[in-house]
């Protein structure tokens, strides 16, 4: 069952009173209990897309299209409905827990706030959050609840943030680069707790990250954004085998790997385009080695190719030609 | 290169202790100390590349700052090109000489460039400080340096704000190369760049090494990046070296448990994160 529908979403933000396009026509659905990784480089519009889902946007933003959660339009909600939606249905986990947890209140006060707000008794709320802290691997809980955010490490605070998000029993988690500020070993631990809890509770998740491999390891599907456009949506398990968009292939190939060294890294030439710089044609036009005349004149729509969706005029032709550059790494495959 | 050539950098038993004073609430001025770097030794040959890896707080940046001269070591020795460095206070002539030997590229290209200085002036300033060329000669060299990092003369009159993150990092690299150092320290120099730009800068760094034979001290937390750019790896944890060896050996057959842990935490095809609980408090 479809839980969230992002339907032809577009977004303009005024810069010097001129509206600038940030997101072009993004269409994406999330099923109940499904995890989708929204992947892209900085400025691709992935954070803005996730923020649009809870209408956490700058006041002067102009939104087009619609966002539908469980049959109701989020954009049409009035203040009261929106408050309920934000506090019960969705929960957000931010990149930097230090700047999203009130530094002058204790961890316990932060955790029970939402529960007390909706009418739970303090003692009940404390019991609920204590159990949650235990499930995300935190020990000495009574002591932790009395501590202030600055007394906890980054990895521990991020797990507190996850516990706070789970406390209200939402149906959708929005996680915006939740582990980017953490060390790799801490990242693995935090992601594992997030993944286990999400699966156990059957929550849907929109996971925003720049790290394709990390997204592929915890998500069911991957949606790749470039310059405010969605360019490819595919199953996480097939991202290495059946990559369809030249940009996704470039991203996978240009990342150095820990298992082997290449004489030269394959690169995507040029720099990432901003959404407002796009012309008529394909967003990836200026950096694409396969561009044809049609790519210059017509922007490709996201369409079904095989089991994926891709926005590329030449997807069928190129299917099988694009590689993630890792074929030689895999056992049993000889280049 | 003859056998007798001294290493580009040699570090012996380097120690850095920071003294942390308790700000408030302490009855006496009780002083806690933190050993950030604990008896670290290594050497980097001319034209070679050593990566120092570790997580935040492992002391790798402090180590880099001591080698470049931004921190004074508590004890231990640093020699650059066979020349010993005194760790006492030094005059501006000596500092200038040291700048010719070791240069550093910082992580954040948004804060390491002066926002009110154009790209051309920023690089020219280095040339003016270190060489006796006239203005025309300097401008030719600026163009050369920009070309070397994949920018061109059109970028010289630009201010940093007009450049992307990748372009700014190229400017920082050009500025560091301006005084022809023996050693270039890259302190997480590609960590903040987008993947597609990171690959371009990594290729650039390896081209520069092939062309001018500079040695690299590469400070990084990213083992995949390290595999690509280094000949040797030094793994640090809590200020100590836990493993040191050729890159391929350390990453293919890690000996230390901490190195294994770091390797196992890297997302890759088929990888899945594993949950751990915080250690149980020890009953007393």
Q: Is the Cβ of A256 closer than 8 Å to some Cβ of chain B?
A: yes
Distance CA(A212)–CA(A38), nearest Å, equals 9
Q: What are phi and psi of B82, to 5 degrees?
A: 85, -5
Contact B225 A256 (CB under 8 A): yes
Query: Residue B267 and residue A211: Cβ atoms within 8 Å?
Result: yes
Interchain proximity B196–A268, CB inside 8 Å:
yes
Indicate the pLDDT class of residue B35, thresholds 50, 70 and 90: very high
Strand partners, A30: A4
A333 has a pLDDT exceeding 50 = no
- Residue A126: CB atoms within 10 A of its CB come to 19
**Which residues touch B25 (CB under 8 Å, ≥6 apart)?**
none
Residue with tokens 């080698």: B67
How far, in Å, CA of B14 to CA of B99, rounded? 20
Which class is domain A2-225?
alpha beta
The answer to whether B231 contacts chain A (CB < 8 Å) is no
Q: At a CB cut-off of 8 Å and minimum separation 6, what does A210 contact?
A: A39, A40, A41, A42, A177, A180, B194, B195
Mean pLDDT estimate for chain A: 91
Q: Tell whether A55 is within 8 A of chain B (Cβ).
A: no
**pTM strictly above 0.90:** no
For residue A258, list chain B residues with Cβ-Cβ distance below 8 A: 223-224, 227, 251, 263, 266, 268
Structural domains of chain B sorted by starting position, each given as residue range(s) with its CATH number in brackets: 9-111+183-268 (3.40.50.300)
Domain with CATH 3.40.50.300 in chain A: 2-225
Distance CA A168, CA A112 (A): 9
Residue A169 has φ and ψ, to the nearest 5°, of 50, 60
Nearest to B170 by CA among B156, B154, B153, B150: B150
Q: Do A139 and B224 lie within an 8 Å CB cutoff?
A: no
- Nearest chain A alpha carbon to B164: A271
Q: Taking CB atoms and an 8 Å limit, are A256 and B261 in contact across chains? A: no
ipTM of the complex: 0.85
Helix (H) or strand (E) holding B52: strand B49-53
Tens of pLDDT along B148-202?
Answer: 888 888 889 999 988 888 889 999 999 999 988 999 999 988 888 888 888 988 9
Give DSSP secondary structure letters for A156-222. HHHHHHHHHHHHT--SEEEEESTTTTS-HHHHHHHHHHHHHHHHHHT-EEEEEES-HHHHHHH-SEE
Could you give the CA distance from residue A282 to residue B239 in angstroms, rounded to a whole number? 50
Torsion of CA A38, A300, B166, A213, to 10 degrees: 30
In the stretch 262-291 of chain A, residues with CB closer than 8 A to chain B read 262, 264-268, 271-272
- In chain B, what residues touch A265 (CB-CB under 8 Å)? 199, 202-203, 228
Q: Read off the pLDDT of residues A207-229 as tens digits, 9 standing for 90 and up.
A: 999 999 999 999 999 999 999 99
CA angle A163, A169, A170 (to 5 degrees): 105
What is the model's pLDDT at position A310? 95
Touching B: A residues 302-331, CB under 8 Å? 326
Q: How many other C-beta atoms lie within 10 A of the C-beta of residue B279?
A: 7
Mean local confidence (pLDDT), A137-152 = 93
- Across the interface, of A250, A260, A271, the residue whose CB is closest to B164 is A271
What is the C-alpha to C-alpha distance for residues A218 and A220, in angstroms, rounded to an integer? 7
Quick check: B279 contacting A, CB < 8 Å?
yes
Would you say residue B3 has pLDDT above 70? no
A122-136 residue pLDDT tens: 999 999 999 999 999
Tokens 């994949």 label which residue?
B150
Q: Do B274 and A188 touch (CB under 8 A)?
A: yes
CB contact under 8 A, B195 and A251: yes
């Amino acid at each position: 069952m479809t839980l969230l529908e992002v339907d032809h979403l577009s977004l303009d933000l005024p810069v010097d009173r001129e509206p600038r396009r940030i997101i072009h026509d993004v269409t994406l659905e999330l099923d109940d209990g499904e995890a989708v990784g929204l992947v892209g480089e900085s400025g691709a519009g992935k954070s803005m897309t996730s923020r649009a889902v809870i209408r956490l946007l700058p006041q002067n933003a102009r939104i087009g299209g619609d966002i539908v959660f469980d049959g109701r339009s989020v954009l049409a909600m009035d203040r009261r409905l929106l408050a309920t939606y934000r506090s019960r249905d969705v929960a957000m986990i931010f990149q930097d827990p230090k700047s999203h947890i009130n530094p002058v209140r204790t961890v316990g006060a932060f955790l029970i706030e939402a529960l007390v707000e909706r009418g739970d008794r303090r003692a009940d709320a404390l019991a609920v959050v204590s159990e949650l802290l235990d499930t995300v691997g935190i020990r000495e809980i009574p002591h932790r609840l009395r501590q202030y955010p600055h007394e906890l490490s980054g990895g521990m605070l991020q797990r507190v943030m996850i516990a706070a998000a789970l406390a209200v029993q939402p149906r959708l988690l929005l996680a915006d680069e939740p582990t980017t500020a953490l060390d790799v070993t801490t990242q693995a631990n935090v992601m594992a707790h997030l993944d286990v809890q999400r699966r156990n509770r059957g929550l849907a998740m929109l996971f925003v990250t720049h790290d394709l491999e990390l997204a592929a390891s915890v998500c069911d599907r991957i949606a790749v954004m470039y310059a405010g456009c969605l360019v490819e949506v595919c199953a996480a398990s097939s991202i290495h085998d059946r990559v369809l968009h030249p940009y996704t292939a470039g991203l996978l190939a240009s990342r150095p790997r820990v298992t082997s060294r290449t004489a030269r890294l394959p690169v995507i030439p040029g720099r990432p385009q901003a959404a407002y710089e796009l012309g008529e044609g394909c967003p990836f036009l200026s950096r694409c080695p396969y561009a044809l005349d049609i790519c210059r004149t017509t922007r490709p729509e996201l369409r079904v190719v095989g089991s994926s969706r891709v926005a590329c005029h030449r997807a069928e032709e190129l299917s099988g030609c694009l590689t993630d550059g890792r074929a030689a790494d895999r056992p049993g495959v000889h280049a | 290169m003859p056998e007798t050539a001294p290493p580009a950098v040699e570090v012996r038993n380097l120690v850095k202790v920071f003294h942390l004073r308790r700000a408030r609430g302490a009855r006496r001025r009780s002083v806690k100390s933190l050993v950030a770097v604990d008896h670290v030794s290594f050497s980097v040959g001319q034209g070679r590349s050593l990566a120092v890896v570790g997580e935040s707080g492992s002391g790798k940046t402090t180590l880099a700052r001591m080698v470049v001269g931004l921190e004074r070591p508590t004890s231990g020795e640093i020699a650059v090109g066979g020349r010993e460095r005194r760790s006492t206070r030094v005059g501006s002539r000596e500092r200038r000489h040291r700048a010719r030997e070791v240069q550093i590229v910082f992580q954040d290209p948004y804060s390491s460039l002066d926002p009110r200085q154009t790209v051309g002036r920023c690089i020219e300033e280095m040339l003016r400080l270190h060489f006796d060329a006239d203005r025309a000669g300097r401008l030719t060299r600026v163009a050369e340096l920009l070309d070397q990092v994949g920018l061109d003369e059109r970028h010289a009159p630009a201010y940093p704000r007009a450049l992307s993150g990748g372009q700014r990092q190229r400017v920082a690299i050009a500025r560091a190369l301006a005084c022809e150092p023996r050693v270039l320290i890259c302190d997480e120099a590609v960590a903040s760049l987008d993947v597609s730009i990171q690959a371009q800068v990594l290729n650039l760094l390896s081209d520069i090494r092939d062309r001018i034979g500079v040695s690299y001290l590469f400070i990084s937390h990213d083992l995949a990046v390290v595999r690509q750019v280094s000949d040797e790896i030094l793994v640090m944890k809590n200020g100590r070296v836990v493993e040191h060896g050729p890159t391929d050996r350390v990453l293919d057959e890690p000996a230390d448990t901490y190195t294994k842990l770091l390797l196992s935490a890297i997302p890759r095809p088929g990888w899945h994160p594993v949950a751990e609980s915080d250690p149980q408090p020890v009953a007393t």
